[in-house]
Chain A
Amino acid sequence: MRWNRATRFPAAAGCAETADCRGIPRSVSRGGRWQMMGWCAALLGVVLASIPLSAYYPFLHWRVEDGQLVAMPERFDLRELPGRAVPVVVSRAAALGLAEGDSWEAVQSQLRLALRLWSQVPNSSLRLLDAGEVAPDLGTQAPHIQVVFDELPPGVIGMAGPVAVGQRRRDDAGSFLPIAKSMVILNGAIEERPSYSEAFFLTLMHELGHAVGLQHTFTSSVMSTGVTRSTTKASPLAVDDHAGTAFLYPGKDAASDTGVIRGRVTIEGEPLHFAPVTALMPSGAAVSTLTLPDGSYEIRGLPSGRFYVYAQAAPSSSQAGLGPGQIVLPRDEAGEFIAPGPTFGTRFFPAAPDWKGAFMVEVQPGTQIANIDIDVPRQAESVFRGVTTYSFPGGFAVNPAIVRASETDRFLVAYAPNLTDGERVMEGLEVESIGASVGPGDVYPYPWAPEFLQVNIRLNPFSATGPKSLVWKRGSDLYVQPAAFLLVGQRPPELSEVTTEASEDGERIRIDGTELGAVGSYLVDGLAVPAATAVDSGDANRVTAFAAPFSNDGRPAAVVALAKDGQSSLYLGAKPPFAATRTASAGDVRIHPSSLPVGVEAMLTLEADAPVFAGNSVNVSFGHPGIAVNHLWKVSAHRVVLSVAISGNADLGSYPVTFWNDLAKLSPGAALTLTPPVHSPFANGWRLMDVATDHPTLYPGSVARVQFPDGWVPPGAFSEITILLGDVALPAVCVGPQTCEFSVPGETSFGVKPLAIAGDDASGLPVAVEIAEPPPYIVQASGFSRSLPVGLLDGILARFSMVVELPEVVSATEAARGLKVRVSGQSAPNVQATPSEEGGNRWRITFDLRLPRAAVRDGHFRLRAEWLGRPSPEVLVRETTP
């Protein structure tokens, strides 16, 4: 991130500065205003890639380089991590205080679930890897996150964040300080917060967010400071969490799949430091940031859509050295904290005191909208210090409030200091909803607890389900609460009976209940099981079943249903039903090879004399953050193949393998010994990919490429280079100083095979490579486009038609679920596939997509289909205009 003084103030005209934009008459309809705004946005759509600024949510450090202010976040350097994943180890430093039915194994299963969710953030390359259980006093040079359950003072649930960072580094995303170690310390007394509860899980997600480098936010996300958090166990991460993570750890398509809004906040014309700025969609999704000392801000990671942009003061911190939301303040050269600017009144872009008078800013993927400047007035601190909403879908409060559209009396209960005096509503208080309605007389003290406020929600014809925002007003004091409540279409899933029963395939868990059709997945402790179709069982009940997971002793495990709309069965019963699990087999396990040098990637095989890998979810770890299991292929219930990466700074020694067979933890005694590094040109650092698809999965008849790292010994140094694929030696042809290619024989069988490289007397360790069916192919494609009218950004609207051949015969449902398309790097949302008239495995896809002009290169679009994560070869489609 670099702030360039010379280019910071571009001469581009901005809406905030022009009479044409400011002078939109109030009589213009909303649609007309949007159109006008789009016209303004077209003027503002300036790509300023050369002056990236920063969101404030990371832990930031400052430096002046060559007269430029450089803000550096703390983040892991994924390049130095084995498998480019952040290893997470877990420890018990004290005995746990557990609720009835809870267990250490259940706690660890919830941790694995949390790691998986943080690893699936769209447009982010962050991956958190379970590296196993270690002693609390782990000492290693390998960067990692350590989660410790320990004895903490009463009243302290947890603390988390980076505890050691290294010296400044630089990568494609800019300068940063690499995190060497982050800690998540959780109070081991969790009797009141069992591992299956919403509270435990969301706290775990929150603390892991700190550990990867995120600070608090103000937008109802999991990283919010609490009172306004509105994520749930069924939907734990919000758009703001995605944006913050993608900012620190951008995925390769982050820039093309998301948009950016940037601008400046001033207070009566002067720069305003540490002002929260939020981009809010009418649907309730919000992303926010804080202004830098010069008042500038940048909000990255925005999905496509229209946004209100507003600056809104947050309550100042009661703790020295911290800003609003207890965010650590930056420091000046004397080591003093730079204080936030003064408090101010909320203003929407461009200068509206209310959202109804605001312009909306349209964001398209790959675009950056600049000069969204807001000037705010000085104003005393708001009476609204954050508002918390609750509802009562069962017999107890849940947060955020859930409002059911089909209910006749739709309401939520809100709390903030001084909203009521116990008898009357705060004088002058008004409540509005963006996306729904709150009418006159809809706000009054909640009869059962008058210190709370009851807010009745009305729906309008445009009230779609999803998160909805509230606006709290009193005179000139206005407070926007993004995603203040969740509008849903049905009740939470209710599990009326959960039993474990015998079946031909072994024990299965049978679930009877209501609203099961809306369930996206079930959790058995922390093990996620995709929801199968629920069928009628009479009395409005539905029934479904799935294989009972394995555990060490068949212990009962908590069963929770997570609905797709963010609700869960925990909303109707805080203590979930428990179901017996299957007792896992134990047996001897052999590991091959049993030793590896540090600094390599290699293939490992675990073979057992019993079906110890019978579960649907198998995880392997070695209890050391320097050993990463990049990929696991389950060959059979007796055998798994691993692709492991060993960090160059991993500690030499012997590390016992531990694996999870569903919920069963097994430590069979086999160990992997790390030995000193080997110096072979083929030992590590090279990458293997299919030439046509750039994907590491190969297929019979394909041509594969081996890409050697910088500084590799040139191929000319060897008389020949041979690829050993299983038992077959294949000649490689070197086509460049660091690139060799080879053909995979057409008769090669499917499966995971060892692949090694040899040249003269040197050879490398075998890595695991998957030989699979061919990838999808685009067999026909066309694209028509036209420039968008002024007002819809500088872009094009394109219609694509393509026929894709899949490697297997699938149903329409499977095709819809597994087939994706990217155009010039940008994903096409909501792709619909219909069987092609040519039959077979061919599917016709037609879709419209708005793209930036830069998506057309040399007159062509670049199209790629993706089937279950495997891309097709790229196809160039000439742009045709009508």
Chain B
Amino acid sequence: MRSGWKSTVFLLLLMLPAAGLCVTLEQLSLEEMIEASTYIVRGRVGPTLGVSGATMLYTEYELQVTEVLSGDPGGMRLRLALPGGRLGGREQVFSGVPVPIRGKEYVFFLWRGRSGMLQLVGMTQGLLEVRRAAGLATAERAPSDGMVLNRRSGLPVHDQGMRVSLARLRTSVAAARERRGGPR
């Protein structure tokens, strides 16, 4: 073991100057996530479409949508932008920003702001992995161990992660739509 770590240590080299950034999140309930989303879709992550940005880098991922739970995204192939990435000689790594894995199926809580980019609501909170077991499909994510604050008190809180069945998620989204008075 010792020789192992030594060989590892001495193989270390300076990589591209990778800048690290940290994200502070506000804890959102499922209902708040639904309310805040422009679109909620289920689908798979396609290829990375590129990295752009002058100061802050954003990596764009193709989303291959298989189900639209809320909103009208206007197509079944979307572009999701997430902070971070590698461009030229620069790399930015964000803690608190998830890295979707190509080919995996997720539920995406998407938000489109003034910039026009589609981003995740609550970053790690807005990406739930779809899992199927014993005939039950769930959307879930692990607790975040980063900085998460309560929305109203501003106090730091324990993020509990999330696990919800797709059926209950559809029901919750439909109920929210109804509360808002019709399809969105």
Decide if B145 touches A153 in the complex (CB within 8 Å).
no
Chain A contacts with B in 140-163, Cβ cutoff 8 A: 151-163
Asked if A764 lies at the interface with its beta carbon under 8 angstroms from chain B, I say no
Q: Within the complex, what minimum Cβ distance (angstroms) separates A486 from chain B?
A: 15
Chain B contacts with A in 152-184, Cβ cutoff 8 A: 152-158, 160
Q: Which 3 A-B pairs have the closest CB atoms?
A: A199-B154, A155-B122, A161-B21
Asked if B14 lies at the interface with its beta carbon under 8 angstroms from chain A, I say yes
Contact surface of B with A, Cβ cutoff 8 Å:
1-2, 5-6, 8-15, 17-28, 32-33, 36, 54-57, 83, 90, 92-99, 111, 113-115, 119-126, 141-149, 151-158, 160
Assembly CA distance A882 to B4 (angstroms): 56
Decide if B120 touches A183 in the complex (CB within 8 Å).
no
Decide if A319 touches B19 in the complex (CB within 8 Å).
no
Pick the contact of A333 from B13, B23, B57, B149 — CB < 8 Å?
B13
Q: Within the complex, what minimum Cβ distance (angstroms) separates B56 from chain A?
A: 6
Decide if B111 touches A319 in the complex (CB within 8 Å).
no
Pick the contact of A165 from B8, B19, B141, B152 — CB < 8 Å?
B19
Assembly CA distance A137 to B33 (angstroms): 30
Q: What residues on B are CB-neighbors of A333 within 8 Å?
A: 11-13
- Known interface pairs A153-B120, A154-B111, A206-B24. Does A226 touch B156 (Cβ–Cβ under 8 Å)? yes
Assembly CA distance A162 to B57 (angstroms): 12
Pick the contact of B93 from A216, A270, A273, A328 — CB < 8 Å?
A328
Decide if A159 touches B36 in the complex (CB within 8 Å).
no
Count class of interface residues, chain A: 35 or more
Q: Within the complex, what minimum Cβ distance (angstroms) separates B160 from chain A?
A: 7
Decide if B156 touches A388 in the complex (CB within 8 Å).
yes
Asked if A325 lies at the interface with its beta carbon under 8 angstroms from chain B, I say yes
Kindly report which residue of chain A lies nearest to residue B155, judged by CB atoms: A399
Given contacts A318-B144, A319-B124, 12 further A-B contacts (CB under 8 A): A61-B15, A151-B113, A153-B113, A154-B36, A155-B32, A156-B123, A157-B26, A183-B55, A206-B24, A226-B147, A326-B22, A399-B155
Decide if A338 touches B8 in the complex (CB within 8 Å).
yes
Asked if A651 lies at the interface with its beta carbon under 8 angstroms from chain B, I say no
Asked if A716 lies at the interface with its beta carbon under 8 angstroms from chain B, I say no
21 A-B pairs with C-beta separation under 8 A: A61-B14, A62-B12, A62-B14, A64-B10, A94-B114, A153-B119, A154-B28, A158-B24, A161-B94, A163-B57, A185-B56, A210-B22, A225-B147, A226-B146, A226-B157, A271-B5, A318-B142, A318-B145, A326-B95, A338-B12, A390-B155
Q: Within the complex, what minimum Cβ distance (angstroms) separates B125 from chain A?
A: 6
Q: Within the complex, what minimum Cβ distance (angstroms) separates A338 from chain B?
A: 7
Assembly CA distance A325 to B95 (angstroms): 9
Assembly CA distance A727 to B14 (angstroms): 55
Mark A525-551 against chain B: 1 for CB-CB distance below 8 A, else 0.
000000000000000000000000000
Asked if A322 lies at the interface with its beta carbon under 8 angstroms from chain B, I say yes
Q: Within the complex, what minimum Cβ distance (angstroms) separates A696 from chain B?
A: 36
Assembly CA distance A318 to B2 (angstroms): 27
Q: Within the complex, what minimum Cβ distance (angstroms) separates A421 from chain B?
A: 15
- Known interface pairs A163-B55, A164-B90, A397-B153. Does A156 touch B12 (Cβ–Cβ under 8 Å)? no
- Known interface pairs A163-B92, A225-B145, A332-B11. Does A151 touch B20 (Cβ–Cβ under 8 Å)? no
Assembly CA distance A207 to B149 (angstroms): 14
Q: Within the complex, what minimum Cβ distance (angstroms) separates A384 from chain B?
A: 11
- Known interface pairs A215-B22, A273-B5. Does A331 touch B151 (Cβ–Cβ under 8 Å)? no
- Known interface pairs A153-B123, A154-B121, A417-B160. Does A159 touch B23 (Cβ–Cβ under 8 Å)? yes
Assembly CA distance A612 to B146 (angstroms): 45
Decide if A199 touches B114 in the complex (CB within 8 Å).
no
Assembly CA distance A327 to B124 (angstroms): 16
Decide if B21 touches A155 in the complex (CB within 8 Å).
no
Pick the contact of A319 from B10, B25, B95 — CB < 8 Å?
B95
Assembly CA distance A333 to B93 (angstroms): 17
Q: Within the complex, what minimum Cβ distance (angstroms) separates A152 from chain B?
A: 8
Mark A651-681 against chain B: 1 for CB-CB distance below 8 A, else 0.
0000000000000000000000000000000
Assembly CA distance A229 to B147 (angstroms): 10
